[in-house]
Structure 1
Amino acid sequence: MEVKTGKTTTEQSWTVGEVALLTRLSIRTLHHYDDIGLLRPSVRTEAGYRLYTTADLARLWRVLSYRELGFPLAEIAHVLDAQPGGEVQALRTQVALLQEKQRRTQSTLDTALAYLHAAERGEGILNMTNAELKDSFDSFDPAKHEAEARQRWGDSDAYKQSAVRTSRYTRADWEEVRAELNAIYARYLALMGAGTPADSAEAKAVAADHCAHISARYYDASPEMMRGLAEMWVADDRFTHNIDRAGEGLAAYSSAAVLAWASELEE
């Protein structure tokens, strides 16, 4: 369809139904994108019909590309409407998340292959090599430092709340918890790699999600408690070493981000 968009120019445009056919999206989805401001048709006819322009379709292509990368719709709108550089930063973060997801998928595949090879040899898990067994259980260690944790915080409400919650966790639950934390680490690392200060709004947003992760999975974490954790990440070499396994300098950066976030809330 062609419509007049000015006094002397004519531009190709498409109805919502035509765009639905072109993209294989439902009309309902396109209407939803319009309602939330993610993709609004730029042209309105004299009869009141809204039409999509070439620029609108270009934006839709980007929307679908970001959706394929796993961005939530609200974040896609923020990225597309961001200031110059915002889209690059968002993509860096998403690349880091996808790389972490790829690493976890490869680790799961390697474990499955180890089990398969042991089964094909007719040996079963009990006859797997120590290296294979270690790889299988490397990401599942919920009891690590349990005795020390009980000694240091056993009388606290937070420890008791965490003990009750985690006592019900299966191995699959622990894998999910670990995946969530790795995703948070990947976001910190993406910001580090981009040279974003730890006290920036972006880093503090990750710190807020870090707090939400701990509150959802372990115990209700206040800013004051998060401050204590952040200080421990850099004061205790064991925590620093463990966190920095995900990326050199991560412990210091995440600690600084959480401290900045906590200070902002405590002001």
Structure 2
Amino acid sequence: MPDAIDTDGLTVGQVSTGLGVTVRALHHWDEIGLARPSLRTAAGYRLYTAGDLERLHRVVVYRELGLGLDRIQAILDESTADVPGALRAQRTRIAERIDRLQQLSAGLDRMIDAHERGLLLTVEQQAAIFGPQWDPESPVKARQRYGDTTQWQQYAERSASRSPEEWQAVADAMAGLERALGDAMDAGVTPGSPEANQLVERHREVFASYFPLTRQMQVCLGRMYEADPGFAAHYDGIRAGLATWFRRIVDASARAHGIDPDSATWD
């Protein structure tokens, strides 16, 4: 601090620069009686003495520790104030905040990994959950193909918070649906029937584990299942012709809801 403190006192600007606090903060502390300058110039400008500066130093220290201004004032002004107790309580609050921030950091790491990798499961976990035929590279391929879409973001957000047990429940629900589709086709369920429409709705509900699926998107998905060799092989491996039958029941359900399958778009 300048030598002027020994004689004339320091101005607000000098104190602001020396302590690294704003002039506005110093004015506010003065107004609430937390740290008032003891002197004034003839023109009415504030001047801080050595004693004022010592109090300001303490205010800055306690504020940096996270104490509120009311608590700081009580510590500085009340002779019976339990300073160690106040500091211990603040230390507890800081420790709790650090723990919370560490949890948030870990959550951010998982979210980043999910956006980049899709599945936060080991190769062994994927095989155990999705079966030995599962390709562990499929999430990487999906990200390369769909990584810039809203649906990939939604999928990643769900994946980031999902445990292996929850993924197992998703896989079981999808496997149960596929068995039901095969059984319905074997039983001669026709597109547009109540039974077929219920299966279409069930598919949308199960698929929502990955991302929300509109009826138009479901039409596009059904057609991809039929046209894509990989998807077609999967569904036709459950029942011969299942990929086409599934596309037909989805199309029929879409028409019942006023959607032309031939003009459906992914939205």
Q: Normalization by structure 1: what TM-score?
A: 0.45
